[in-house]
Structure 1
Amino acid sequence: MSMFKKKDKVTLDQQAISTFIGEGCFLEGNLKAPAFVRIDGQVTGNVTIEGGLILGERGIINGDVTTHDMVVYGTIKGDIDTHSLEIRGTGNITGELKTQTLLVEAGAIYNGVLSMAQNTKVATE
């Protein structure tokens, strides 16, 4: 299942990835990128992505995340501010969520506070 209607937009999983943090990589500090990012490693710090973010199954983020579209297969400990969010069956999120659209697959884990509004603005500073 996709966060977009099949004929309206291409799913985030099919976007061209401009930045990739591979499995076994560790980044300490804030990450900021203008396009689409995939993280399969570990980031300790805040993540701000203008386009979209895919967090792979072995990906871990310890910090707040701000992005437009997001698909989570991995683990996040921090607050998330996004336009649309998919938490896949292997996803595990602990923190506050602010989003307009949300899709949660069976098996996904979420612990925190959820805020959904049609006029949520995602600030990418």
Structure 2
Amino acid sequence: MFGHKQPTIKSLISPGCAIEGNVVFQDGLRLDGELRGNVLGRPGSASILVVSESATVHGEIEADHVIVNGAVHGPVRARVMLELQPKARVLGDVTYQALEMHQGALVNGRLCPMQDAAASVVPAAPQVSD
């Protein structure tokens, strides 16, 4: 998936823990508690974020591989892969390169697949003369 070994989970925000503020991480982060702020996997290094069934995020999420089975109130951007597991509840737009969505997962927002730069160029409409 990353072209090399997937990163391991090295950090944990445990159940009952509530954090206010942005979190920047590399490698892997598992979130079982509540976070009010943005969660960002450090660009340039492989990252995986797991938002467990007991977790809630109020803010933006961005990482290479994002697995959601809890609640997210904000946009989610998965640079490589987004997995929405059965109890996922996302209130915001999701952007992804690859998507796996299980039955029962809910997204209240837009599903926005990423496109490479060449594919995202839309040809101009022809001019119509009167």
Q: Normalized against structure 1, the TM-score is what?
A: 0.81
Give 5+ residue unaligned stretches, structure 2. 118-130
Find the counterpart in structure 2 of residue 68 from structure 1.
64
Aligned residues: 111
SS of aligned partner of 2:9: coil
Superposed CA deviations along residues 20-59 of structure 1, whole A, max 9, x for unmatched, are 0000000000001111000000000011013010011001
Q: Paired residue for 1:79, among 75, 90, 96?
A: 75
Q: Paired residue for 2:114, among 114, 117, 120?
A: 117
Contact 1:32 1:49 in 2 (8 A): yes
Find the counterpart in structure 1 of residue 98 from structure 2.
101
Contact 2:25 2:40 in 1 (8 A): yes
Find the counterpart in structure 2 of residue 27 from structure 1.
19
- Runs of 4+ that moved beyond 4 A: none
Q: Normalized against structure 2, the TM-score is what?
A: 0.78
Contact 2:72 2:90 in 1 (8 A): yes
The CA deviation at 1:81 is 1.2
Contact 2:9 2:48 in 1 (8 A): no
- Are 1:43 and 2:35 matched, yes or no? yes
Note the aligned Cα RMSD (angstroms). Answer: 1.8
* CA distance, structure 1, for counterparts of residue 16 and residue 106 of structure 2: 23
Q: Which has the higher contact order (CA 8 A, sep 6+)?
A: 1
The CA deviation at 1:118 is 3.7
The CA deviation at 1:9 is 7.4
The CA deviation at 1:119 is 2.3
Q: What letter matches 1:100 in structure 2?
A: Q
SS of aligned partner of 2:81: strand
Give 5+ residue unaligned stretches, structure 1. 121-125
